[in-house]
């Protein structure tokens, strides 16, 4: 999930992960945002202050971070991912503490190494990966989603949001074998959808309505799927999951 800040990446990623897991598939949710978001929309509660993945990293004799001996992608997910509802496993790069990024450097390095080995790990062949990336194009350009086959660019019906989504989609599509699709979020009618499609220059794969239930779930600190499983936004995200599965 990519796009401008506040576009709705975390809400859509967390809800998609839950929908896929309820469909009976194994899901690994991948959270590389340094700010909170995904664990709430998944219904996994607050983020740990120290990311468990920090345990997987050590420094070599030159002071460079590496994965501890014996820690590959499978073990990293077994040991350092946490449980989320519906059997989802959640692997987090870590959240920036008050003190700055230094305390989570080990975890960030471990995360980057692990995600680059996920695509070739046979254990995960039949798993679904759902990743929530930080806002903007940088993390896409710098390879923070090497597991992604599809980038979902989330767009609100504003020019800035569409411009950001187009840029990110263009960068994502530079990698061979990758597709990028657009999803409109917080739309209030057909006019909004047409507006977004005009701005991004192609049809959107789904149009998630502005939904009071999503906002309410956030105020309560619970996942939208738990708070309002039949709300229009959740129903549209279910449709998006089906459309993505169809290819």
Ligand X SMILES: Nc1ncnc2c1ncn2[C@@H]1O[C@H](COP(=O)(O)OP(=O)(O)OP(=O)(O)O)[C@@H](O)[C@H]1O
What SS3 class is residue 117? helix
Q: Rule CB under 5 A: say whether 161 interacts with Mg ion.
A: no
Binds 210, which of ligand X, Mg ion, none (CB < 5 to 8 A, cut-off by type)?
A: ligand X
Question: Taking the complex as a whole, how short is the minimal distance between the CB of residue 174 and ligand X, in angstroms?
Answer: 22
Instruction: Say if strands 150-155 and 128-132 run parallel, antiparallel, or are unpaired.
Output: unpaired
Pick the closer one to ligand X by CB: 117 or 239.
239
Question: Taking the complex as a whole, how short is the minimal distance between the CB of residue 117 and ligand X, in angstroms?
Answer: 25
Instruction: Say if strands 57-59 and 65-67 run parallel, antiparallel, or are unpaired.
Output: antiparallel
CA 246 – CA 89 distance, rounded (Å): 24
Pick the closer one to ligand X by CB: 4 or 113.
4
Binds 186, which of ligand X, Mg ion, none (CB < 5 to 8 A, cut-off by type)?
A: ligand X
DSSP assignment letter at 233: H
Binds 105, which of ligand X, Mg ion, none (CB < 5 to 8 A, cut-off by type)?
A: none
Window 35 to 54, contacts with Mg ion (CB under 5 A): 37
Looking at 10, 92, 107, 231, which residue binds Mg ion (CB under 5 A)? Answer: 10
Q: Which helix or strand (DSSP H or E) is residue 166 part of? A: helix 159-173
Check if the beta carbon of residue 139 is closer than 8 Å to that of residue 31.
Answer: no
Question: Taking the complex as a whole, how short is the minimal distance between the CB of residue 146 and ligand X, in angstroms?
Answer: 20
CA 49 – CA 189 distance, rounded (Å): 40
The upper half-sphere exposure of residue 98, i.e. CA atoms within 13 Å in the direction of its Cβ, equals 0
The full length of the chain comes to: 247
State the residues that interact with ligand X by CB under 6 A: 3, 5-11, 33, 35, 37, 135, 185-186, 208, 210-211, 214-215, 218, 233
Select the span of 4-12, 107-115, 174-182, 226-234 touching Mg ion (CB under 5 A).
Answer: 4-12
Check if the beta carbon of residue 16 is closer than 8 Å to that of residue 130.
Answer: yes
Interaction site with Mg ion (CB under 5 A):
9-10, 37
């Amino acid at each position: 999930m990519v796009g401008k800040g506040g576009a709705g990446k975390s809400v859509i990623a967390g809800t998609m992960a839950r929908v896929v897991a309820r469909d009976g598939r194994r899901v690994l949710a991948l959270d590389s945002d340094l700010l909170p978001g995904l664990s709430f929309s998944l219904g996994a509660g607050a983020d740990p202050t120290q990311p468990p993945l920090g345990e997987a990293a050590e420094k070599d004799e030159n002071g460079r971070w590496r994965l501890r001996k014996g820690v590959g992608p499978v073990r990293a997910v077994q040991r350092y991912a946490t449980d989320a509802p519906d059997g989802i496993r959640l692997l987090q790069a870590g959240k920036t503490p008050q003190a700055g990024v230094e305390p989570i450097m080990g975890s960030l390095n471990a995360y980057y190494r692990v995600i680059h080995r996920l695509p070739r790990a046979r254990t995960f062949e039949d798993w679904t990966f759902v990743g929530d990336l930080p806002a903007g194009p940088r993390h896409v350009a710098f390879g923070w989603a090497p597991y992604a086959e599809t980038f979902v660019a989330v767009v609100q019906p504003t020019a800035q949001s569409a411009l950001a989504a187009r840029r990110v989609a263009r960068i994502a599509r530079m990698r061979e074998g990758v597709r990028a699709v657009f999803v409109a979020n917080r739309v209030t009618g057909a006019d909004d959808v047409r507006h977004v499609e005009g701005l991004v220059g192609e049809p959107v794969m789904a149009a998630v309505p502005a939904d009071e239930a999503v906002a309410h779930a956030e105020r309560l600190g619970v996942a939208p799927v738990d708070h309002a499983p039949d709300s229009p936004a959740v129903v549209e995200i279910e449709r998006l999951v089906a459309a993505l599965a169809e290819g």
